[in-house]
A and B are shown apart, each in its own frame.
Chain A
Amino acid sequence: MEFARGSMLYLDDVSVSFDGFKAINGLSLMLAPGEMRAVIGPNGAGKTTMMDIITGKTRPDHGDVIFDQSIDLTRHDETDIARMGIGRKFQKPTVFETHTVADNLLLSLAGKRGVFETLLAQITGAEARRIEEILETIRLEERRDDLAADLSHGQKQWLEIGMLLAQDPKVLLVDEPAAGMTDAETMATADLLKRIAGEHTVMVVEHDMEFVRALGVKVTVLNEGSVLAEGSLDHVSADPHVIESYLGR
């Protein structure tokens, strides 16, 4: 897998179709270690399907999906891929509503995953400290013992990002983190993601242009399952194809 050298995530000529509809069509994309990338595109461009392929939920019809230069992700399922270090935040915030905020983070912490391990697990001091750190990062210290169901929409989004952090993955796939947030929350979320990048490779899918601008990173525009343009936000905004298919509408 020489071709994937120097990449953290490498997709080459990936295609998948559902009942004849090509959701992803010859998609190629490469993320360097520590890079943060924003992915934009109109509805149905294949953004979520691309994340499904990377995380093992959907198997591509053909194409290479290589993680960390050597791991062929198409051969693994969601659980394996999550354990290898790819974390995912869903479009709709998905947290464990009947658990407390702290328990949500505890269950996400890297480490114990086996049935018998968790049956006997007692919380360690290191785990408790890590949970406190994350609670501080996502500004939910006050809500520690509240049920996740009682959080506001924006707080659930943050909790889910916190759960990703707890997993300490190499790659974070973040689907619409600012959806349903106020302007202030949106900007705070952009700050949070910028702090995370560097240690982690991050791919953010987002509709909100202000948010993408605040991230200030390289942008990939998807349309009809393949890459339409790539570059800075100003560069892709000026691209006539992009304007035609997405921004102009």
Chain B
Amino acid sequence: MKADPLLDLKSKLFLALLVAAAIVVPMANLVAAPGSDFYLPSFAVALFGKYLTYALLALSVDLIWGYCGILSLGHGAFFALGGYAMGMHLMREIGPRGVYGDPVLPDFMVFLDWKELPWFWWGFDQFWFACLMVLLVPGGLAFVFGWLAFRSRVTGVYLSIITQAMTYALMLAFFRNDMGFGGNNGLTDFRDVLGFDLRSDATRAGLFVASAAALGLGYLLARRVTTSRAGKVLVSVRDAEARARFLGYRVEGYKLMVFTLSAMMAGVAGALYVPQVGIINPGEFSPANSIEIVIWVAVGGRGLLLGAVLGAILVNGAKTLLTGWVPEIWIFVLGLIFVLVTLFLPKGVLGAFGTLSWRSGGARRGASAQPAE
């Protein structure tokens, strides 16, 4: 009996590709002369960086949906919370350089005539504190939400619906001005992070590299979990929850662990997303966003980890191209992609084409994707 190695061939290829991208993309922007064939414009660096954060987000959804059967339709909430935590730090970094020049209060608070910083903004002037919150806020919410839901044995479509309700409720809350997160406009006009100007090419390249590193680490962590014996238990819970219970596994404990871990990964993705796009607003909590993440995973291939990464990059690449050419049709194309993939590629792009080449090698996938529930 051979244990599934942490780093199989596919993982090594992927990580090598990621390292190559982390070297080539910044070089093509910083070193190559503008106008040369190798030059990559700055906006593209930020765009690709954004894709990497989406890939990490998709990975976090695949970890729970692909391996434990928890279909979260509210994962965008954890992404947005991580984004807000980072956004709050970036707001505090602006300091007296805001429009109103208040050394402590962000512009929107001055505008609302607030006299002092609300308690939940304390500490966000420290970068390390913001990083901690990027993990703790989404993780904490997922822990409490999961503890209540899994203990009451809410599963399947009911769980999906309440995750939608959760992100919708958060969206409505964050839209309110008196919540203290900038209301409708969200947080924006960021200047710098750790003293580096966010508008400079070098900072953008740095954020790209950080996103690639986060994706690589997130992938390794997910591999570590899914190839362990606990990962086998997760798949068992996905396929035969009652059997797992009658074997003596505390199913809710496993679900809670993986759900919380996944929410933290989504939070990190959000925190890296915000400085690259320059804004975070309540629209990120929109239920449609969360559904889109699930589509990425379904397109790439559920339960394969790399499928989620591939799906996020493919779908968002197509989105960027299409919304550039004919913006009106994107939403229809997205729907069409989802329908076609569900009908003809139930295991997703990687599941369908990846197995063709690897099957012959005699490799057996321990946890293969199952048809969507």
* CB of A167 closer than 8 Å to a CB of B: yes
**In the complex, chain B residues whose CB is within 8 Å of the CB of A103:** 232, 366
Q: How far is the CA of A87 from the CA of B364 in the complex (A)?
A: 30
Size of the A side of the interface (Cβ < 8 Å), in residues, is: 38
Contact B245 A79 (CB under 8 A): yes
Is the pair B235, A98 in contact by a Cβ cutoff of 8 Å?
Answer: yes
Q: How far is the CA of A147 from the CA of B367 in the complex (A)?
A: 10
Q: Which residues of A contact B367 (CB under 8 A)?
A: 98
Contact residues, B233-268 vs A (CB, 8 A): 233, 235-236, 239-240, 242-243, 245-251, 253-254, 257
In the assembled complex, A55 has its CB within 8 A of some CB on chain B: yes
Cβ–Cβ contact B240 & A95, under 8 A = yes
Q: Is the CB of B240 within 8 A of A96?
A: yes
Q: Does A122 sit at the interface, judged by CB under 8 A? A: yes
B1 at the interface (CB under 8 A from A): yes
Partner of A82, one of B229, B235, B246: B246
Contacts of B249 in A (CB 8 A): 79, 113
Task: State whether B229 touches A118 (Cβ < 8 A).
Answer: yes
Question: At the interface, yes or no: B21 with Cβ under 8 Å from chain A?
Answer: no
Most chain B beta carbons < 10 A, residue from A57, A78, A83, A112: A78
> In angstroms, how far is the closest chain A Cβ from the Cβ of B238?
8
Query: In the complex, which residues of chain A have a beta carbon less than 8 angstroms from the beta carbon of B245?
Result: 78-79, 82
Whether A107 lies near B248 (C-beta < 8 A) is: no
Interface check A72, CB cutoff 8 A = no
Chain A residues with CB under 8 Å of B239's CB are 96-98
Is B161 located at the chain interface by the 8 A CB criterion? Answer: no
| Complex contact A123–B246 (CB within 8 A) | no
B373 to chain A, nearest CB (A): 14
Interface size bracket, B side: 20 to 34
Closest to B224 in A: A119
A144: B residues at CB distance < 8 A: 1
A123, B233: Cα distance in complex, Å = 14
List residues of chain B with CB within 8 A of the CB of A102: 1
Contact status B254-A115, CB under 8 Å = yes
With an 8 A cutoff between CB atoms, is A108 at the interface? yes
Interface residues of B in 1-37 (CB under 8 A from A): 1, 3
A140-173 CB mask vs B (1 if < 8 Å, else 0) is: 0000110100000000000000010001000000
Partner of A145, one of B235, B242, B247, B364: B364
Is the pair A115, B257 in contact by a Cβ cutoff of 8 Å? yes
Residues on A with beta carbons closer than 8 Å to the beta carbon of B243: 90, 94-96
* Interface residue B228 (Cβ < 8 Å from any Cβ of A): yes
B235 to chain A, nearest CB (A): 6
Residue of A with least CB distance to B245: A78
Tell me the bound Cα distance from A122 to B230 in angstroms: 11
Q: Which residues of B contact A126 (CB under 8 A)?
A: none
Q: Using CB atoms, name the residue of chain A closest to B2.
A: A145
* Set of chain A residues within 8 Å of B247, measured between Cβ atoms: 82, 107-108, 163, 167
Answer yes or no: B225 CB below 8 A from chain A CBs.
yes
Q: Does B370 contact A (CB under 8 A)?
A: yes
Q: Are B3 and A83 in contact (CB under 8 A)?
A: no
Min CB–CB distance B109 → chain A (angstroms):
42
Q: Report if A88 contacts B (CB, 8 A).
A: yes
Check A79/B250 contact, CB under 8 A, given A96-B243, A115-B230, A118-B230. yes
Query: Chain A nearest CB: distance from B146 CB in Å?
Result: 13
Check if B368 is an interface residue, CB within 8 A of chain A: yes
Residues of chain B within 8 A of A128, CB atoms compared: 1
Tell which of A90, A97, A98, A119 touches B229, judged by Cβ atoms closer than 8 Å.
A119
A130 within 8 A of B: no
Q: Is the CB of B253 within 8 A of A98?
A: no
Chain A CB count within 10 A is highest, among B229, B233, B370, for: B229
Chain B contacts of A95 at CB under 8 A?
A: 240, 243
With a cutoff of 8 Å between Cβ atoms, the chain B residues found around residue A83 in the complex are 248
A157 to chain B, nearest CB (A): 14
Instruction: Give the residue name and chain of the B residue nearest to A147 (CB).
Output: B364
Knowing A96-B235, A96-B239, A99-B236 touch, does A88 contact B246 (C-beta < 8 A)? yes
Nearest CB of chain B from residue A67's CB, rounded to whole Å: 14
Chain A positions within 8 Å of B366 at CB level? 98-100, 103
Cβ–Cβ contact A99 & B235, under 8 A = yes
Closest A residue to B1 by CB, please name it.
A102
CA distance A55 to B235 in the complex (A): 23
B248 touches A167 (CB 8 A): yes
- 1/0 contact trace for A73-98 toward B, CB 8 Å? 00000110011000110100011111
Is there a chain B Cβ closer than 8 Å to A120's Cβ? yes
The chain A residue sitting closest to B233, CB to CB, is A118
The 12 sampled A-B contact pairs (Cβ below 8 Å) are A79-B249, A82-B246, A94-B243, A95-B243, A96-B235, A96-B236, A100-B364, A103-B232, A112-B229, A115-B253, A118-B230, A145-B364
Q: A82-B248, A107-B232, A115-B254 are in contact. List 17 more A-B contacts (CB 8 A).
A: A57-B242, A78-B246, A79-B245, A79-B249, A83-B248, A95-B243, A96-B235, A98-B366, A103-B366, A106-B232, A108-B247, A112-B229, A114-B250, A115-B253, A115-B257, A118-B229, A118-B233
Chain B residues with a Cβ under 8 A of chain A: 1, 3, 225, 228-230, 232-233, 235-236, 239-240, 242-243, 245-251, 253-254, 257, 364, 366-368, 370
Shortest 8 CB-CB contacts between residues of A and residues of B: A82-B248, A118-B230, A118-B229, A119-B230, A83-B248, A121-B229, A78-B245, A94-B243
